[in-house]
Copies of this chain bind each other. A is one copy, B any other.
Amino acid sequence: METVTDAPPSAATLLLRRINQTVPLTPEELPVVRDFGWDIRAVRRRQPIITEGTKNHSIFLILDGFFIRYRILRDGQRQIIALAVPGDFAGVPSSFFHDALYSIRALTDATVAMVPLDRVIGLFETHPRLAAKVFWAFTCSAAIYAEHLIVVGRRAAHERVAHFLLELLTRLKPLGLADENSFELPLSQEVIGDALGLSLAYVNRVLRRLFDDGLVVIKDQKVVIRDVEELTVLADFEQNYLQPLPISAFAPAAGW
């Protein structure tokens, strides 16, 4: 992971755009966020930014690229806990612990903006409303974990795969990284299996079946969902959990 000394001119713009997708900012907050002391870094495919068991007390805003957060078990199996996309914060809540609970590594070449956790905490004193929005976003992401637990705990393999793909489609659309029924992302079948608690071989069979049924095509790192409606029914996919209310819905005063 290397510091980008000549940050491309768009870096600050991209940063504000990305954070705005997760944490909607007021005009006054823009300069605060921009000049927050982010350390912008390029990350190569497969490179870890956090490693389980090591100290890490920074959080990472993903500007570009995709990451997986995962744990390697005793027997070498891997469980992927989350697939992180641009606008997501990586390192939450891992950096809140003495040593990182999971590893996080890039699925593609990527760019992140790193900031020490204590700087974020400092916002509570200097810009409490901004701190509120950030921690609101942190808390809402728990809903995604919970949904994954439901999917992995109680759904059959083909439902899990369908749900997984639809969630990604839904999350990527507002980022401009997916159109109505497709997105680009190097999703190996191993990654899908490790995210869903399935074996690689079985994921392959399930995808084969979804392909034969004309529902999904995955080719050249592009996922095309050929029948979103039918797949949605198959997966029993409800997207409410991806749409928290904004904190402003509960803010006591105007102007949040």
Contact = CB atoms under 8 A, between A and B. Distances in A.
* A57, A96, A101, A122 interface centre (most CB from chain B within 10 Å): A96
B140 A93 contact: yes
Interface residues of A, number: 59
Contacts of A143: 93-94, 96-97, 101
Contacts of A251: 118, 121
Contacts of A244: 93, 96-97
Contact of A131 (B57, B74, B128): B128
Interface string A148-162: 111011110000000
Given A96-B244, A97-B241, A101-B143, 18 more contacts: A71-B150, A73-B154, A74-B236, A92-B142, A96-B245, A97-B245, A99-B240, A118-B251, A118-B252, A121-B250, A125-B129, A128-B131, A131-B132, A135-B136, A138-B142, A139-B139, A142-B145, A154-B197
The 4 closest A-B pairs by CB, nearest first: A153-B197, A135-B135, A145-B145, A128-B128
